[in-house]
Structure 1
Amino acid sequence: MNRIATSLAALAGLSTLAACETVGAADTASAPQAAPVERSAADQALAAQGLAPAVSVIPQSGLKAQTLASNECGLFLWSKTQPDRLIFFQRAASGQARIIIANETVDAAQTANRGTIFGQFMTEQAFLTPSGQQVLVTFQPGEELQGGQRIEDGRLTITAEEGWRTVIPVLGVSACKP
């Protein structure tokens, strides 16, 4: 009989320990854990030299819907990716553009305007973001539409301060609201 009582006492003690461990495990599971950052061999080699890898400026999201006022024209450019995203918007004669860089919406100031005339825009434009990135927009005009014109082939080139360049193929439209 003494052996059964000892076994029951030991079993009760184990169940108490298990309950304590379960509570502790629940507390740990509910706390957000930081995922370990995996670094490629190339990133590790750069880090060993005291350098950092390039930061990706390719948008993973798009601009929200952009609207035009009456008698206003705009230039809308979408990335040629799957899915395509609105990544550039410019109002005619505004001197600035709204651009998605990485996943941040920035208003960039126009620094150059050249090329051929495309409605109220030029086919080559340069912009400077507040953080110092240079954005070059170049495109080829496409077929005319009622109230606008297509852009079937173009590119948005983003140059970071460190000199890294990213080229994003784009398509779009220039449109005017009556």
Structure 2
Amino acid sequence: MIRILTSSLAMGALAACSSTPAAATAKAIAATEAAASAPAEGLPPQRLAPGECGLFLWGMAAPRKFVFFAKATSGNALVLMNESPTSLSMAAAGGDVFGQFLTEMEYAGTEPARRVKISVKPGEVLEGGQRVESGTILFIGADGWETVLPVTGVRACMPGG
């Protein structure tokens, strides 16, 4: 709410100072939209090229964070670990076919004993993808401790290519 109010005040001030109010307003709106689309926390935005598919997962706890991203067929993933984006490599996969992914995936980090297991339950089919009805990310530390993070998300493909 505060962000919206601040953005509205800033747009009004820019428009009042400009010799061409329409141009200033358009620039202020574009800047506001760009700021609103950037996440305050979580992984940075990810892009897919035409023809590429990706798996996007968000944590269920408030505040909801973008916590996992993988491109289909790349064998790599990006996960939010200790509030930091961490690259992982595919170690194993199984379960049922879920578009270009499988419902059970295991990734390994740079630490020898660090593993991350992803388990998803497919949901509603969408145009160009499918929802992840529910799922978990299981973080397994070098000391054997396990942390479970409930997730939801979507697998989606960019048209073209």
TM above 0.5, yes or no, is yes
Q: Which residue of 2 aligns with 1:112?
A: 92
- Scaled by the length of structure 1, the TM-score of the pair is 0.65
Pairwise CA distance, 1:135:
0.1
| Cα distance, 1:120 vs structure 2 | 0.2
Which one of the candidate residues 141, 149, 155 is aligned to 2:136? 155
Separation of aligned partners in 1, 2:84 and 2:67: 10
Of residues 118, 132, 135 in structure 2, which corresponds to 1:137? Answer: 118
TM-score of the superposed pair, with normalisation by structure 2: 0.72
Written as runs of structure 1 = structure 2, the 5 A alignment for 1:28-177 is 61-132=41-112, 133-177=114-158
Gaps of 5+ in 2: 1-39
**Helix, strand or coil at the partner of 1:66:** coil
- How many residues are matched? 119
What CA distance in whole angstroms lies between the structure 2 residues aligned with 1:61 and 1:160? 23
Q: Give deviations 1:44-100, integer Å, cap 9, x for gaps.
A: xxxxxxxxxxxxxxxx93001000000000000000011111100000000010001
Question: Whole-Å Cα distance in 2 between the matches of residues 152 and 84 of structure 1?
Answer: 15
Moved over 2 A (4+): none
Q: Structure 1: state its 5+ residue gaps.
A: 1-59
Amino acid at match of 1:142: G
Distance 2:57 2:111 in 1: 22
Please provide the CA RMSD for this pair. Answer: 1.1
Give the partner amino acid of 2:42: G
Give the aligned residue type for 1:123.
Answer: T
